[in-house]
Amino acid sequence: MNVNNFSLHNVYSIYYQFLGYFPEKLHGIISVVLAVLIVFGIYKVLRKQLVYLILLIILLPASGPILKKVWEQILDLLQFLLSKR
Protein backbone atom coordinates (compact mmCIF):
# COMPACT_ATOMS: atom_id res chain seq x y z
CA MET A 1 0.00 0.00 0.00
CA ASN A 2 1.36 3.40 -0.97
CA VAL A 3 1.26 5.90 1.90
CA ASN A 4 0.64 8.83 -0.46
CA ASN A 5 -2.55 7.20 -1.76
CA PHE A 6 -3.90 6.13 1.63
CA SER A 7 -7.59 6.79 1.98
CA LEU A 8 -10.05 6.26 4.76
CA HIS A 9 -12.53 4.84 2.24
CA ASN A 10 -11.70 1.26 3.31
CA VAL A 11 -12.15 2.18 6.97
CA TYR A 12 -15.50 3.82 6.20
CA SER A 13 -16.75 0.76 4.34
CA ILE A 14 -15.76 -1.50 7.25
CA TYR A 15 -17.48 0.92 9.63
CA TYR A 16 -20.71 0.88 7.61
CA GLN A 17 -20.54 -2.90 7.48
CA PHE A 18 -20.11 -2.97 11.27
CA LEU A 19 -23.07 -0.60 11.74
CA GLY A 20 -25.20 -2.92 9.64
CA TYR A 21 -25.28 -5.37 12.55
CA PHE A 22 -27.12 -2.88 14.76
CA PRO A 23 -30.50 -1.15 14.54
CA GLU A 24 -30.41 2.31 12.98
CA LYS A 25 -31.47 3.94 16.26
CA LEU A 26 -28.19 2.85 17.87
CA HIS A 27 -25.87 4.14 15.14
CA GLY A 28 -25.34 7.52 16.83
CA ILE A 29 -24.55 5.98 20.19
CA ILE A 30 -22.17 3.47 18.62
CA SER A 31 -20.39 6.26 16.73
CA VAL A 32 -19.89 8.31 19.89
CA VAL A 33 -18.67 5.27 21.83
CA LEU A 34 -16.18 4.39 19.09
CA ALA A 35 -14.92 7.99 18.96
CA VAL A 36 -14.43 8.02 22.74
CA LEU A 37 -12.60 4.69 22.60
CA ILE A 38 -10.27 5.99 19.87
CA VAL A 39 -9.48 9.13 21.87
CA PHE A 40 -8.92 7.04 25.02
CA GLY A 41 -6.64 4.64 23.12
CA ILE A 42 -4.59 7.51 21.68
CA TYR A 43 -4.31 9.04 25.14
CA LYS A 44 -3.07 5.76 26.65
CA VAL A 45 -0.48 5.32 23.89
CA LEU A 46 0.75 8.91 24.11
CA ARG A 47 0.91 8.81 27.90
CA LYS A 48 3.22 5.80 27.84
CA GLN A 49 5.19 6.75 24.74
CA LEU A 50 5.31 10.54 25.03
CA VAL A 51 9.09 10.67 25.58
CA TYR A 52 9.69 8.50 22.52
CA LEU A 53 7.31 10.57 20.45
CA ILE A 54 9.11 13.78 21.42
CA LEU A 55 12.48 12.21 20.58
CA LEU A 56 11.12 11.02 17.26
CA ILE A 57 9.96 14.52 16.34
CA ILE A 58 13.24 16.11 17.46
CA LEU A 59 15.60 13.55 15.95
CA LEU A 60 13.83 12.84 12.69
CA PRO A 61 12.73 16.00 10.89
CA ALA A 62 10.91 13.90 8.30
CA SER A 63 8.70 12.43 11.01
CA GLY A 64 6.90 15.75 11.50
CA PRO A 65 4.95 15.62 8.22
CA ILE A 66 4.31 11.89 8.68
CA LEU A 67 2.90 12.38 12.16
CA LYS A 68 0.89 15.36 10.92
CA LYS A 69 -0.66 13.20 8.20
CA VAL A 70 -1.45 10.44 10.71
CA TRP A 71 -3.02 12.97 13.08
CA GLU A 72 -5.10 14.44 10.23
CA GLN A 73 -6.35 10.95 9.32
CA ILE A 74 -7.27 10.26 12.96
CA LEU A 75 -9.14 13.58 13.18
CA ASP A 76 -10.94 12.84 9.90
CA LEU A 77 -12.00 9.47 11.28
CA LEU A 78 -13.22 11.02 14.54
CA GLN A 79 -15.15 13.70 12.64
CA PHE A 80 -16.72 11.00 10.49
CA LEU A 81 -17.73 8.98 13.54
CA LEU A 82 -19.17 12.00 15.34
CA SER A 83 -21.07 13.16 12.24
CA LYS A 84 -23.10 9.92 12.38
CA ARG A 85 -24.84 10.87 15.63
pLDDT in tens, 69-84: 888 888 888 888 888 6
Beta carbons of 77 and 11 less than 8 angstroms apart: yes
How many percent of the chain have pLDDT more than 70?
Answer: 84
Kindly report the pTM of this predicted structure.
0.53
Rg (CA), the chain: 15
Q: Domain extents for the chain?
A: 3-82
Which residues does 8 contact at the CB level (< 8 Å), separation at least 6?
A: 73, 76, 77, 80
Question: How far is 61 from 83, CA to CA, in rounded Å?
Answer: 34
The residue count of the chain comes to 85
**Model confidence at 1, in pLDDT bands (50, 70, 90)?**
very low
pLDDT for 45 = 78
**More confident position, 48 or 17:** 17
